[in-house]
Structure 1
Amino acid sequence: MPRASLLLSTFNAGEWSPELYGRIDLDKYRNACRRIENFVLLAQGPATRRPGTQYVASTKDDGVVRLIPFEFSTEQAYIIEAGANYFRFYMNGGRIETSPGVAYEITTPYGVNDLSGLKWAQSADVLYLVHPQFQPHKLARSGHTNWSMTPIDFSDGPYLDENVAAVNMTPAAANGSNVTLTASAATFVAGDVGRLVRIKHGSTWGWGKIITFTSATQVKIDIKSTFGGTGAVPTWRLGAWSPGTGWPSTITFHEERLFLANTKYQPQTLWASVSGAYESFAPTGTDGVTKDDHGLNFTIADDRVNAIRWMSAGKTLALGTTGGEFNLTASSLNEALTPSNVTVRRETTNGSADLRPERIGAAVIYVQRAGRKVYEMAYSFENDAFNSPELSLLARHLTLKGIKEIAYQAEPWSVIWAVRQDGALLGLTYMRGQDVVGWHQHRVAGTAAKVKSVACIPGIAQDEAWLAVERVVNGVVRRSVERMAQAFEPEDAFDKKGAFFVDGGLTFNGAGATALTPDATAAVVGSTNVPFAAAAPAFTLDDIGREIQYSYPALEGEGYHVARARITGFIDASLVTATVLAPFPGVAPIAAGAWSLGATTILGLGHLVGETVTILADGATHPTRVVAPDGSITLERPTAYAHVGLGYTSRLATMDIEAGALDGTAQGKSRRIHRVIVRLNNSLGMRVGAEEAGSEDVVFREARTAMDQSPPLFTGDKVVAFPKGWATQAVVTVLQEQPLPCTIVALIPQLTTMDG
């Protein structure tokens, strides 16, 4: 019976499909897991618990929404709540409001069923939006509460090809408004209102916009560029976009041009604006001469249908179509794109879903046509071509239900978040340079909880991931906008303020906003009527009964002492008296933010009425509470700082451990895990076992830790004995159910294999 100790030092191969449970021959088998739920995989190897989600606001009328990022700068980035014919705006973790509780919003033409079809591209403080059923619009920002949405009035194009039929156009005038334009044969339809028309007289081109439909042979136009005459001429072009021919459905910027593509009438065609003039698509000058900076159009010619789904700008312009993926470049190496210098080459035949891709470095991450696979498109120097490997190959069980949206969070983890059609949230830790591609799944807490949309924007230190979440709360469907909390990065082992591990949660912070000076008698426990003077108004009459709390360092390595005094008298807004419950260290003023007013009642949880909530109070777990109808909970002890929300479980289960046997593999043989060494970093509170039902609590509290304080965060090795006997499967399962951090650096199981 050989014994073995196996070091599982990395988990970044991610969760694998059951079809791969026997692939011990793969190099990454040891780095993979059967299940990774609510753990984020780090590129370095560890698995760290997913932060919780912070409730920001309910959606308008609890309606379905989509989240859109708006990145004006790293200091001013917004999330747009796109709902039924409205946009609302968020920044710095909150909703922009015109007055307390009143959201700032603007009207839009997009109904709730149109939201999934929106695509966008941004230039400075203008967001260009397209949808196949609507004229392109632009969203302009002038200030936090000054946004405007207007249709884009494109000038001089784009157009269809020149007329080749025996049809003449006759304008009633060479210039002016409401001018009659007559065709010699049926040409116009009612849907042409708003469509452009370009007419050539002699060597001069002029153009105008159709404003009124009169009949199939006659319309009224506003002339924007003077015609060269008023005679009947056969040389003319109609605009490519209109309600009848359809509107572009995808958009991007590339080489100082605005690119749009895929209308109902021309699904395989893309158009580019005049260089540097995003709203002009003039194909030539008025003299008919085409210059390098004029607008261009290109139609993909191929042996299959190639409706353009997305465009992604890099060194080349990557195109995703229903039939494959292409690259658009200049025909000449290192030259700029011009109307006469453009070529499109097929790179792959996977086909793309109608979803926005994510460009990460030189690679484009996109969802395959059926929505069930994720691919990477990147240039390979070895092959001198663009390769497109499947990123979901090893975790197909996670993506089979279809992906509806992806968003990339570069900091701090380099994770691609994916929303599945059924509302599940998936994560893909992606760092191609380090050969890291690992999937993990996430279950947002709550009854029938579903993630409906995800978007990421840059933050000051970390990128922000925002979620639109749907839950059943107290029997009613509620929808909210939530922000994933920042990755937990404590300053020391006693710092748990950033440990936000509840979903749909809020934070209570009783920190004082001004300096506070205790009387000298505050150093004696039991002293009564002790004055506490604030440097500015800080108290109200309702504070009687609350506690003043001040945490200060104890001896090195022993954490903090907490000085406490219960307020018994209110003199004025800057002076109260109190009874000392735990001594204060001196009479020096306590800085603003260093002291707190503890509370036993926490308000503001109206979005979770009737739900059982999990609580982390002053860094320690607190018994669960049910939110009262007024949105409050009552704590069993005064608390200065608390995170309150819906609890969730993080799970990690290894693959069937393969440590070898005397005659080869250990798979299928009876094995017994005697114990597991769990190597942790800044972790507290967890269970470990062979399976969830029989897992054992890991003890973190030491004898020197005061009973009225939470144990410090632990970094190091914990030895866990396994009570489970012999079995033909050797799996280590780690669970974290408390609202506390957990980062698994390594697992070192010690096991015996029975041969024969």
Structure 2
Amino acid sequence: MTRTSPPQVAFSSGELDPLLHRRFDYQRFQTGLAKCQGFLPLAQGGVTRAPGTIWRGRTRNDARCVLVPFTFAANDSCILEFTPLRMRVWRYGALVMSGGSPYELVTPYDETSLSTLAWVQSADVLYMVDGIQPMQRLARLALNNWTIGNHALNSGPFRTQNLNKGLTLQAAAPTGTSVALTASSAFFTANHVGMLIKLEPTDQSTIELWAPDKADMVVGDLRRYGGNIYRLASGNDSGLTAPIHDEGIVRTETDTSWEFVSDSVGVVRVLSVSSPTSALVNVIKTVPRACVDSPTYRWSEGAWSRVYGYPAAIEIYEQRLAGAATPSEPRTVWFSAVGDFSDFDPGTEDDDAFAYTVAGGTSVNRIINLARGAAGLHILALGEEYSTRAETRSSVIGPKNAVFGLDSAVGSSPAKPIAPGGDPMFISRDRKRLLEIVYALDQDRPVARVLSRTAQHIGAAGFEQIVWQAAPEPTAWLRLSTGDLVAMVYDRDEEVLGWAPIPVAGGYVDAMGVYPAAGGGSDILMLAIVREIDGVTVRSIEELAVSYGVLTGAQEIYEACHLYAAAVFASMTPAATFAVPHLAGITVFAWTEQGEFGPIEVPAGGSITLPVAVTNAIIGLFDDSHYIETLDVQAAAGDGNTMGRRKRLHSGMGVGLHRTAQGFVEVVERDFAQPERISARQTLVPRQVASVLTEAYTGVATATAPTGHAKELAVRIRPQGGAPLTVTAIVPIVQEAGS
């Protein structure tokens, strides 16, 4: 029988899928855990207690919400809380106020719209779509002064031109704010109200072509040149120089000037419909005279309207606003002109607007999301993923050089993707996988690779949302359909990929958003958490505490928050009584510079009194389901692998700790088809008891954790109350005992 001490000095792979628990040959087996619940794997190799949450307030009327980050500068960030038909602003943990009350903005988004809301930010403006109503433009004028309204689109986008020569339209005047538009047969419906319509003449021969040195003209005469129509503004002849301008009045000769009237395209917006053949319109762009003098079949309806629907996906790429996925054209992406998010009039110049319809490879299914990446704009559809870019990297994407290519055939869920390093991450159509689109050198194209394979059991309930926290550690936070919170610590350069479920003390997560902290040193994860507080269901706004500083020594240990829905108190004057009305009726713990106190039942009034006065206190909920557990401890044997053989642990197990106040260690014994056996808990820092946890220890603790014989043995470590706990190594002493 061989006695060995197999070290595990890294836990950066976090919790591994049960199907990998016997993969002794797998690289991540060496750095993985059987359970990593409520702990975060670290890029350096250790594993630490996940931060708790700080209670900030509740959503408006405890309603379901969407949390939208809005960042204007390093020291100017906030989270916008959208509840049905209202928006409020949270800035660095507090609601923005107006006149003594929380500032509110009326919005058009009801509960149905919020479930499909998509957005993109440009400077101090958010462009928002929901696939149900017109694109909205939300603008910040001040922290307590925002405006929202339909994004003004006066030049498209438009559908394909009408080809039915028997159905014509005719305007009553070339300009005006209430002009009659007549159809040759039934055409207009109530849903046309608000729609743009483009009119082009079929015959402009009624207007004479401009010719040089044409005499006997009078002011007001019309001439055509280069597709434009001009009116003689002064003079009595045409002159020798043709007019080529596209606005205003320009003098072409000493005594001759021409006024630009229109080009060959007019645009109107429908104001009202009086019958199937008659409507009133507002002329946005002058209607060509030929479309007034005679009807034309060359007209095009607006692509975004109540008739054909509105886009459900939005992104900004290379100074173009892109919208996609209307109900009538679910595979089309429309790009604005460069630098003008209101101009969707298609053209052929490099900076003109254009549209592209993505062809389906095996099926025609709708676009779900757009995501800007380092190598192009990614188009995520229900059944496959595409990307588009310019033919050459030195040019901007445009109507003549856009290249579209298939990246994968996975299919995307509606969850908004992220692209923290320029490579989009998205949740799969079945919601059970998280994928990243990366460039594959061997294939010379982007491909999708699965990031959740090593912990696919965590995604079995279905991922609903993903957000990215770049600092203090690069972490993707995911919300499951059950409301459970999941962390994926990811650093591709360091080959770190670790998963961990994070229970939040009896609540479940309803929404998430990330925004930079004041100063920009770290990112703050804001959560909307549903809790039962004294029999009442509430939706709390809570922020993940930034507790990573405990690892580096930047914080005192009493500043570390590992409690949930916590209130934080700091004062120069010691106090023993603290008000926590949001936790009235439930049991809490207090973490202070004098140690830990609790459990304490908060009375109806919401105030608790500690046994001693303190200057710093964190009071909140303790989640006792957090723990880590190693994979089966590997025992050495002279003749090879010991799987299936009995073994035991001896006293003297070493546990590496970093700035740890307290924790407990247990050993789990398992035999096939038998109930597991768990040893008695032992404290990792035996000199400290709950009321005097005032010092953090770094070093190697020794646990006397002998066991009986079992086929499988695992080490389990649990936290105590609000005490910091970081594990850097576990070195058991194990002996193989044969079959």
TM-score class normalised by the smaller sequence:
0.7 to 0.9
1:640 aligned onto 2:625 = no
Distance 2:694 2:365 in 1: 60
Contact 1:662 1:755 in 2 (8 A): no
The Cα offsets for residues 365-396 of structure 1, whole Å up to 9 and x where unpaired, read as 10011111111101122321212111111211
Q: Using the alignment, how far apart are the partners of 1:494 and 1:468 within structure 2?
A: 27
What CA distance in whole angstroms lies between the structure 1 residues aligned with 2:105 and 2:554?
46
3-state SS of paired residue (1:754): strand
Cα distance per residue 1:554-605 (max 9 Å; x no partner):
xxxxxxxxxxxxxxxxxxxxxxxxxxxxxxxxxxxxxxxxxxx1112101x2
User: What is the CA distance between 1:32 and its match in structure 2?
Assistant: 1.1
**Aligned equivalent of 1:585:** none
Shift of 1:99: 5.2
Is the partner of 2:115 in helix, strand or coil?
Answer: helix
The reply on whether 1:293 has 2:269 as its aligned counterpart is no
Unaligned stretches of 5+ residues in structure 2 = 205-226, 228-263, 669-676
| Residue of structure 2 aligned with 1:679, choices 656, 669, 675 | 656
Residue 186 of structure 1 deviates from its aligned partner by 2.7
Q: Paired residue for 2:586?
A: 611
Judged with a 3 Å threshold, the aligned counterparts in structure 2 of structure 1 residues 659 and 185 are, in CA distance, closer, same or farther, namely farther
2:685 counterpart residue number? 700
* Counterpart for residue 735 of structure 2: 752
Say yes or no: does 1:39 pair with 2:15.
Answer: no
Structure 2 partner of 1:68 = 68
TM-score, structure 1 normalization: 0.85
- Do the aligned partners of 2:168 and 2:297 also contact (CA within 8 Å) in 1? yes
Q: Aligned letter for 1:625?
A: I
Instruction: Give the match's secondary structure for 2:712.
Output: coil
After superposition, where does 1:544-693 map in structure 2 within 5 Å? Answer: 597-603=573-579, 605-649=580-624, 650-674=626-650, 675-691=652-668, 693=678
Cα root mean square deviation, aligned = 1.8
User: What letter is aligned with 2:711?
Assistant: T
Match of 1:389, SS state, is strand
Cα pair distance change 1:373/1:493, threshold 3 Å: closer
Which residues of 2 match residues 99-498 of structure 1 at below 5 A? 102-166=101-165, 167-201=167-201, 202=204, 203=227, 204-229=264-289, 230=292, 231-284=294-347, 290-303=348-361, 304-314=363-373, 315-332=375-392, 334-446=394-506, 449-459=507-517, 460=519, 461-490=521-550, 495-498=556-559
For 2:569, which of 508, 513, 517 is the aligned residue? 508
Aligned-partner Cα distance in 1 for 2:419–2:323: 18
Task: State the number of aligned residues.
Answer: 660
Give the partner amino acid of 2:660: S
SS of equivalent residue, structure 1 residue 67: strand
Question: In the alignment, does 2:719 pair up with 1:740?
Answer: no
Instruction: Tell me, yes or no, if structure 1 residue 728 matches structure 2 residue 711.
Output: yes
Secondary structure of the corresponding residue to residue 497 of structure 1: helix
Secondary structure at the aligned position of 2:90 is classed as strand
3-state SS, counterpart of residue 405 of structure 1: strand
Tell me the CA shift for residue 302 of structure 1: 2.2
Q: State the distance in 2 between where 1:271 and 1:707 align.
A: 62
Distance 2:554 2:708 in 1: 36
CA contact (8 A) 1:494 1:712 kept: no
CA apart distance, 1:113:
2.8
Equivalent position SS for 1:358: coil
Structure-2 separation of matches of 1:386 and 1:404: 24
Give the C-alpha shift of residue 707 in structure 1.
11
Give the C-alpha shift of residue 701 in structure 1.
5.9
Question: Does the 8 Å contact 2:684/2:703 carry over to 1?
Answer: no
In structure 2, C-alpha distance between the alignment counterparts of 1:274 and 1:212, rounded to whole Å: 29
Cα deviation for residue 754 of structure 1 reads: 1.4
Amino acid in the other structure paired with 1:673: L
Q: Indicate conservation of the 8 Å contact 1:647/1:739, yes or no.
A: yes
- SS of the residue aligned with 1:730? strand
Q: Deviations over 1:672-729 (max 9, x none)?
A: 1214211011111100111495343325365xx9998544111110010113211111
C-alpha displacement of 1:737: 2.9
- Measured after TM superposition, the shift of residue 147 of structure 1 is 1.3
1:567 match: none
Unpaired runs of 5+ in structure 1?
285-289, 512-596
Give distance in 2, aligned partners of 1:340 and 1:382: 28
Q: Which moved more, 1:31-40 or 1:692-701?
A: 692-701
Does the 8 Å CA contact 2:117/2:128 hold for their aligned counterparts?
A: yes
Deviations for 1:478-499, whole angstroms, at most 9, x for unmatched residues?
Answer: 1111100112424759922321
Structure 2 distance, partners of 1:504, 1:297, is: 48
AA aligned to 1:715 is T
> Match of 2:357, as an amino acid?
T
Give the secondary-structure state (helix, strand or coil) at the position aligned to 1:320.
strand
Q: Tell me if structure 2 keeps the 8 A contact 1:701–1:711.
A: no
Q: Alpha-carbon deviations, 1:425-449, whole Å to 9, x = none?
A: 0111111122222110010013xx1
Q: Following TM superposition, by how much is the alpha carbon of 1:332 offset from its aligned partner in structure 2, in angstroms?
A: 4.7
> Amino acid of the residue matched to residue 301 of structure 1?
A
Using a 3 Å threshold, how does the CA distance of structure 1 residues 350 and 405 change in structure 2: closer, same or farther?
A: same
CA contact (8 A) 1:300 1:306 kept: no
The alignment partner of 2:455 has SS state of: helix
- CA distance 1:487–1:119, shift in 2 (3 Å): same
Q: Which residue of 2 aligns with 1:713?
A: 696
Which residue of structure 2 lines up, in the alignment, with residue 579 of structure 1? none
- Aligned amino acid, residue 639 of structure 2: D
Amino acid at match of 1:265: S
Give distance in 1, aligned partners of 2:304 and 2:483: 35
Question: What is the deviation of 1:168?
Answer: 1.4
1 CA distance for matches of 2:335 and 2:555? 57
Note the 1:86-105 alignment, pairs <5 A: 86-98=86-98, 102-105=101-104
In the alignment, what sits opposite 1:547?
A: none
Number of the residue aligned with 2:235: none
- After TM superposition, the structure 1 stretch with the greater mean CA deviation from structure 2, 121-130 or 360-369, is 360-369
2:267, 2:596 → 1: CA distance? Answer: 71
Where 2:504 maps in the other structure, the secondary structure is coil
Specify whether residues 728 and 617 from structure 1 end up closer, same or farther in structure 2 by C-alpha distance, changes over 3 A only: same
C-alpha distance in 2, partners of 1:677/1:328?
54
1:25 Cα deviation (Å)?
A: 2.1
